[in-house]
Chains A and B, each alone.
Chain A
Amino acid sequence: MAINWFKYSSPASFYVLAGKMIPLFSIAATILFAVGLYIGFFVAPTDFQQGEAYRIIFIHVPAAWMSMFLYVMMAVWAGIGLAFNTRLSSMMATAIAPTGAMFTFLALWTGAIWGKPMWGTWWVWDARLTSELILLFLYIGFMSLQAAIDDPRRADKAGAVIALVGVVNIPIIYFSVKWWNTLHQGATVSVTSSPKMAATMLTGMLIMSIACWMYAIAVILIRTRTIILERERHTSWVSELKGVSS
């Protein structure tokens, strides 16, 4: 049986598919956030060095990971849209940007508020913090550039260029704690060595990260559907849609 792989690259059929997927991801996000926060606040023990202040980690690290992952996802979709001229992938990139910017802001905010009691300062211009701030500016730049161009297809192309050039910042953020002498601590969790934290702390952090993923997918799918409707509003399938024609 031949499978039509391109079926869901058409905005009209993706609209229907995404509509079915949103409830699943929303429910998963809600449950995982509840479990993750429960572990973070009621199961994970007090840190012997940082006391209770370390509990910021359960939102700080997932937010910082998401800020980087989502940027890469955004650049990949924007790049595919630029290379193959596929409308849906560009719409995905546009839909990812606000959520990515939100997580970047949260990573910076929770980092600052964690830095104050631990380092004695809200902010330092060290490599990790500065490169993360540049990430926020890249997201904002991407969104404002797209908002400034009236023709959506041209906005997609211009945005894709910013997104792809900005990818160079991602390895800089990730390796900044190794390459430079920073105030920010090194990676707590890495692929090559065993985690340097208690098992329950790690579990809570990973569950919170998966929760953030589920949340991000749900909210990005809702936004993608809205963008599809905005751009395809003159087509017959939109006018026949339930909620529009009724």
Chain B
Amino acid sequence: MIWASWSDFFDMGGYGFYVWGSYIVSVICIVGEVILVLKRKRTLLKHLSLIHESTKEEKINETTS
């Protein structure tokens, strides 16, 4: 085992700031991109289904009137 303890692991031989500074930002970017791309898809689907609903209602109105 390379690390004697968890604090040894987080210290990274004195380079903790640099190592974790790299990985934390990387995780934020990757997780952030996933969240953004899924949110964009969900918003669009919701928008499209609203449009679909309204056009369906229009058609029903046209046939009944």
Contact = CB atoms under 8 A, between A and B. Distances in A.
A230 B51 CA distance: 13
A98 B18 contact: no
A56 B26 CA distance: 11
B19 A102 contact: no
A79 B23 CA distance: 34
B15 A117 contact: yes
Contacts of A117: 15, 18
B33 A102 contact: yes
B49 A59 contact: no
Interface in B1-44: 1-3, 9, 12-15, 18-19, 21-23, 25-26, 29-30, 33-34, 37-38, 40-41, 44
Contacts of B30: 102, 215
Contact of A226 (B14, B15, B41): B41
A23 B51 CA distance: 28
Nearest to B8: A52
A114 B2 contact: no
Contact of A59 (B2, B23, B48): B23
A87 interface: no
Q: Main secondary structure on chain B at its contact with chain A?
A: helix
B48 A238 contact: yes
Given A46-B2, A102-B33, A230-B44, A244 B22 contact: no
A117 B17 CA distance: 10
Contacts of A55: 12, 19
A226 B33 contact: no
Interface in A225-244: 225-226, 229-230, 233, 238-239, 243-244
A67 B48 CA distance: 33
7 contacts: A51-B15, A59-B22, A63-B26, A219-B37, A238-B48, A244-B49, A245-B49
